[in-house]
Amino acid sequence: MTQLQRTPLRDFHAARGARLVDFAGWEMPVQYRSILEEHRAVRRAAGLFDVSHMGEFDVRGPGAAAFLNRLVTNDVARLFPGRVLYSPMCYPDGGVVDDLLVYQRAADDFFLCVNAGNLARDLEWIRSQAAGHDVTVTDRSAETALLALQGPRAVAILQGLTATKLSEIGYYHFAAGEVAGVPCVLSRTGYTGEDGFELYHAAGHAVRLAEALLAAGAPHGLELAGLGARDSLRLEAGYPLYGHELSPEFSPLAAGLGWTVKLDKGCDFIGRDALLSEKRAGSPRRVVYFRTGDRRILRPDAPVLDAAGAAVGRVLSGTLSPILQEAIGSALVATAAATAPLAVDVRGVAVPLQLVRPPFVPLGRT
Amino acid sequence: MSSLPADLRYAKSHEWVRPEADGTVTVGITDYAQNSLGDITYVQAPKVGAVLAAGAVFGVVESVKAASDLYAPVAGTVVAVNPALDGAPETVNREPYGAGWMMRLRPADPAAPGALLDAAAYAALLG
């Protein structure tokens, strides 16, 4: 049993009643009192999430922009200093290495935010692809903490702690500033579907920043929220999670992320040939999102059945939507089967899937 | 750990049993069980009239995390299930020993509930 990694807020969570679990090798709060209540607090007011387990890499040098545009499927040339881009990063066969955020600080200065579970593999992959490019890739993960403040009250809470004019930072933009005296990158991004900010800062300041946010947010209804609520919030918003809706096994086109694959961005990129072929021929399988009208949660890997009872796919994610009070989820299904009636067996009962286009609920941030 | 009601009997599988005045017993899951499961999202109850053997699966409780079987602490016939749990299964989290009860059984052997763990023995099991 290897020692779990800890964020600088591990004891902060434990002191506030968190249930700590192993998430991708990290000891992380899955909930503080109730996943469902924390979820509703984020939709109603605001939630504070510790996501310091995520990875941050600096990518710097005269070749940084060209290198990154070859590395990821979205168009890095659209960035400018202060702008953030979401993109998958693919293998040559079109399968997904990871999905990430690309931040441009200056002409030759970028940083990436990647999933904790993929951090080591991403770093190895990125460094192996950087050979021949005039770039330096530096892992900043250990010294960087990340707090996400999300929900309709997030901006009001944060504005009380910073001189940075938050109204001037648009969605998927960022700025350097101070929050409660702590130097931060204030990024208007998130994984809940609500308005809010993600605050990158030095690990040594994490406890001070978290305490200041929690105190300032209390009158607004801010609650600590764990990874359980983070997962149900992202699924309700229709955002993919690596290892579920994104995988080395299928492409971002199959995942419904065609908008992030810029085949015509004017340069070659890793996976382009395979993705171009798949776009022309059509994806053999695709990710669909469903609701059921029933409270029984459909669990990952449960077979998806067609009307004849034949397996045509599998569930990728499933939870109870705390807002809709019914089961929602995603599945990977054969494209040919995706227009016919589908069901998932739950303990002998065939629960029919109602395919929907997410988000499942109206979002503050769309 | 909250205190265990002294008037209940307990099964090692974390169900509790309350003997009622009419000879039936009420069955639910313990505070320890609901806390381990986390947010409860669905309770699949047995049918009224079902005849259960001791240790038989009588239903399923689902949480955000997982689905878990429920075991009959004693043999008997189901005489009632809790209708409130259909729409509000989270009642089990809030009041595991009260409004979150799951079924009422007429025991096949009236002496069987008395053979289950008392509060002190169940507390010792939890450690």
- For residue A1, the model assigns a pLDDT of 53
User: Looking at the partner chain, which of B39, B42, B67 has a beta carbon nearest the beta carbon of A36?
Assistant: B39
What CATH fold (topology level) applies to the domain B9-109?
A: OB fold (Dihydrolipoamide Acetyltransferase, E2P) (2.40.50)
Q: How confident is the model at residue A365 (pLDDT cuts 50, 70, 90)?
A: confident
Q: How confident is the model at residue B2 (pLDDT cuts 50, 70, 90)?
A: low
Chain B residue with the nearest C-alpha to that of A346:
B67
- B20, B25, B28, B32 alpha-carbon torsion, rounded to 10°: 80
User: Looking at the partner chain, which of A35, A297, A347 has a beta carbon nearest the beta carbon of B38?
Assistant: A35
Asked whether the beta carbons of residue B39 and residue A34 sit closer than 8 angstroms, the reply is: yes
Q: Is the peptide bond before A359 cis (omega within 30 degrees of 0)?
A: yes
* Mean pLDDT, range A245-255, rounded to an integer: 98
* Mean pLDDT, range B49-77, rounded to an integer: 96
Asked whether the beta carbons of residue B42 and residue A299 sit closer than 8 angstroms, the reply is: no
Q: How confident is the model at residue A336 (pLDDT cuts 50, 70, 90)?
A: very high
Q: How confident is the model at residue B3 (pLDDT cuts 50, 70, 90)?
A: confident
Say what the pTM is: 0.95
Has residue A290 got a pLDDT over 90?
Answer: yes
Which of A21, A23, A30, A35 has the most B C-beta neighbours within 10 Å, making it the best mutation to test the interface with B? A35
Tell me the domains of chain A and their CATH numbers. Answer: 10-54+143-236 (3.30.1360.120), 55-139 (3.30.70.1400), 284-356 (2.40.30.110)
Summary mean pLDDT of chain A: 97
Can you give the residue ranges of every domain in chain B? 9-109
What's the ipTM? Answer: 0.90
Q: How confident is the model at residue A129 (pLDDT cuts 50, 70, 90)?
A: very high
- For residue A100, the model assigns a pLDDT of 98
* Mean pLDDT, range B83-97, rounded to an integer: 96
Rounded Cα–Cα distance for residues B100 and A109 (Å): 57
* Mean pLDDT, range A278-307, rounded to an integer: 97
Tell me the per-residue pLDDT of A211-242, one tens digit each, with 9 for 90 and over. 999 999 999 999 999 999 999 999 999 999 99
Asked whether the beta carbons of residue B38 and residue A297 sit closer than 8 angstroms, the reply is: no
Tell me the per-residue pLDDT of A145-160, one tens digit each, with 9 for 90 and over. 999 999 999 999 999 9
Chain A residue with the nearest C-alpha to that of B37:
A34
Our CA-based measurement puts residue B39 at a distance from the nearest CA of chain A, in whole angstroms, of 6
